[in-house]
Amino acid sequence: MQRANVINGGSGLPMWRLRLALGVAVLAGLLLIGKLFYVQVMQNSFLGGKAQVAHTLERAITAPRGTIKDRNGTTLAANRNLDRLYADPSNIADDEAGEIAAQLAGILKMPAAELEAKLRQDGQWVSLATRLTPQQSEAVRALDIYGLGLEPLPARVYPNGSLASHVLGFANFDNQGTYGIEGKYNAFLQGQPGTIRAEQDNSGNWLAIARQQIVPPESGADVQLTIDSTIQYYAEDELARTVKEQRAKGGTIIVMRPETGEVLAMASAPSYEPEKFNEQQDASRFVNPAISQLYEPGSTFKIITMATGLAEGVITPDTRINDRGYVNVDGFTVHNWDGRAHPNESMTEVLMNSANVGASYVSTKVGKDAFYRRLRDFGFGSPTGVDLQGETEGMLVLPSSPNWSPINLYTNGYGQGIGVTPLQLITAEAAVANGGLLMRPYVVSKVVRDGQVVRENKPTVVRRVLKPEVAATLKGMMQTVVEEGEYQVARLDGYTIGGKTGTSSIPSKTGGYDPKLTIASFVGYSPVKNPKFIVLVKIDQPRKSPWGSEVAAPAFKNLARRLYAYMNIPPDKRATSGTQTP
């Protein structure tokens, strides 16, 4: 008995309990060792990857867009860095979100509720606003709020405000081009974004001392236009003056080189500022009327009708008709615009008098098959193929259509019942000025990346639409219209000009034509023998006067004066001061 007491000692524990405790301790140790082995060896890659993700920040680096320049190297679209304001919601207490949102709302001009909702989001990063002005960025920095940050981003700028806005289009806040050149050439301009991988702290902030992996972005290619910014300014200035003077709804002026198809200017009103696209309430302002807005060309189309008659050999400039001032067709009556008769009228006089009856005579003499075949050759009813986003094909009802009737052949002859875009019309009539060759219009001359030309547009002949001698005959007729016609307001002393006015009606929503609204237009080129430019002036719904001769022709004359001086075009005829209409 005494021996047993000594063995148990002072522990008071039986031997089996001691052995049990020892076994549990050993088992726990083995389990812990096994867990450590599983975590550190078996799960090393998996858990290491999760830790890496948790502490690694990866963001895209926006690539700077390529610049857009005019034909002379003047910058029309470029980039600058503007800040993006972001927040780490995990570092902003719920009871502080409302107060912070209220402070930011006044700086950013944004609803406080919208900002507060973003500050209460889950996660460690949320964008609050982009393209802060330098003043806004400075005001945010002055707040010195933990959990807010500023990140510089490239933003699109347009140094000349609204100049050539419909040609340029714009780049949105996601750096994507929309409308115009920005949209059409977006794949070239936008470049390739880069990436940055860096370690971050628990607040989502970059650790500057940690290792970073950066794949730099590739800048977009530069685009050079055929547009001349000086001529573009002249066109926009004359358009704005005419629209204001006439209290018109808007209008379009296009200037083109007939021999190449290069667009030197393309102006439309009303316009917008590309850099402030987000402030524009009317999205229709972004659409380029010069390539997308259809209208009935009216008497400017008589040039094309006369071209079909000359080309088919059914008339000459001296072919004469007895124009009674009207003609009856299938229950319809075609009138001259002024209702006047023109006995023994020549084809040149048809253009000079802008006689609807005479134009209808030509189209019916040509016949429906040849007439519409010729119109298709001139490009009507099809897109011109200009390198701009949003071009429409126009409207040409052919004899094969169930909507066509014989009256169409008469009315189409003087530009009614056919829908064209301004670019379609000037492109077709430039073919006459260019000796019968129809050129594809274009606004981009080349695309350059890292000093290498990756795309180049050159003058492209679409087809020959008139023999050179036929074009020369028609050019002579058009010169006579300007110099000897009833309306000579487009004449300029010392220069030969070929052209034609137009006053077209506007279809009414209730059917027929609106008796009070017109489109006043003029197409002219100069010098006649070797044209350096062709201009289309189109004024929508002028209020002061409805006539192309009183609205569009004077605008052409004012613009032509500036073009002669700027393009250094010398006079090509003897001056006749005192004999022209001022």
Tell me whether residue 259 is in a domain.
Answer: yes
**pLDDT tens-digit map of 93-137:** 888 999 999 999 999 999 999 999 999 988 878 889 988 989 999
- 153 and 233 in a single domain? The answer is no
Residue bearing the bigger pLDDT, 49 or 417: 417
CA 153 to chain centre: 24
- 138 and 233 in a single domain? The answer is no
Per the structure, the count of domains in the chain is: 2
Between helix 422-433 and helix 302-312 the angle, nearest 10°, is 40
Average pLDDT over residues 482-496: 84
Tell me whether residue 39 is in a domain.
Answer: no
Average pLDDT over residues 14-28: 64
pLDDT bracket for residue 21 (50, 70, 90): low
Tell me whether residue 360 is in a domain.
Answer: yes
Contact criterion met (CB below 8 Å) for 274 and 170:
yes
What's the pLDDT at 207? 47
Strand partners, 156: 79
Average pLDDT over residues 403-407: 94
- 100 and 240 in a single domain? The answer is no
Average pLDDT over residues 293-305: 97
Q: How far apart are CA 195 and CA 63, in angstroms?
A: 10
What's the pLDDT at 438? 98
| 69 phi/psi in degrees, rounded to 5 | -125, 160
Q: What is the mean pLDDT of the chain?
A: 88
- 403 and 491 in a single domain? The answer is yes
Q: How far apart are CA 478 and CA 65, in angstroms?
A: 46
- 331 and 414 in a single domain? The answer is yes
- 333 and 251 in a single domain? The answer is yes
Q: How far apart are CA 404 and CA 521, in angstroms?
A: 26
**pLDDT tens-digit map of 192-205:** 877 766 665 554 45
CATH code of residue 151: 3.90.1310.10
What's the pLDDT at 38? 52
- For the chain, percent of residues with pLDDT exceeding 70: 84
Q: How far apart are CA 291 and CA 383, in angstroms?
A: 9
Tell me whether residue 321 is in a domain.
Answer: yes
Tell me whether residue 208 is in a domain.
Answer: no
In this predicted structure, the answer to whether residue 1 has a pLDDT above a threshold of 50 is no
In this predicted structure, the answer to whether residue 40 has a pLDDT above a threshold of 70 is no
In this predicted structure, the answer to whether residue 175 has a pLDDT above a threshold of 90 is no
Average pLDDT over residues 294-313: 97
In this predicted structure, the answer to whether residue 579 has a pLDDT above a threshold of 50 is no
What's the pLDDT at 22? 64
pTM of this structure: 0.83
- 117 and 257 in a single domain? The answer is no
In this predicted structure, the answer to whether residue 8 has a pLDDT above a threshold of 90 is no
Tell me whether residue 171 is in a domain.
Answer: no
- 340 and 448 in a single domain? The answer is yes
Average pLDDT over residues 490-519: 91
Tell me whether residue 496 is in a domain.
Answer: yes
Average pLDDT over residues 360-380: 98
Domain end call among 157, 179, 204: 157
With b for 16 or more beta-carbon neighbours within 10 A and e for fewer, the 513-552 pattern comes to eeeebbbbbbbbbbbbeebbbbbbbbbbbbeeebbbbbbb
- 555 and 425 in a single domain? The answer is yes
SS3 sequence, 253-269? EEEECCCCCEEEEEEEE
Domain end call among 105, 126, 157: 157
What's the pLDDT at 36? 53
CATH code of residue 478: 3.40.710.10
Contact criterion met (CB below 8 Å) for 247 and 427:
no
Tell me whether residue 27 is in a domain.
Answer: no
What's the pLDDT at 53? 45
- 104 and 235 in a single domain? The answer is no
- 246 and 113 in a single domain? The answer is no
Residue bearing the bigger pLDDT, 175 or 503: 503
**pLDDT tens-digit map of 223-256:** 999 999 999 999 999 999 999 999 999 999 999 9
- For the chain, percent of residues with pLDDT exceeding 90: 68
State the residue range of the domain holding 406: 229-276+284-566
What's the pLDDT at 196? 67
- 407 and 500 in a single domain? The answer is yes
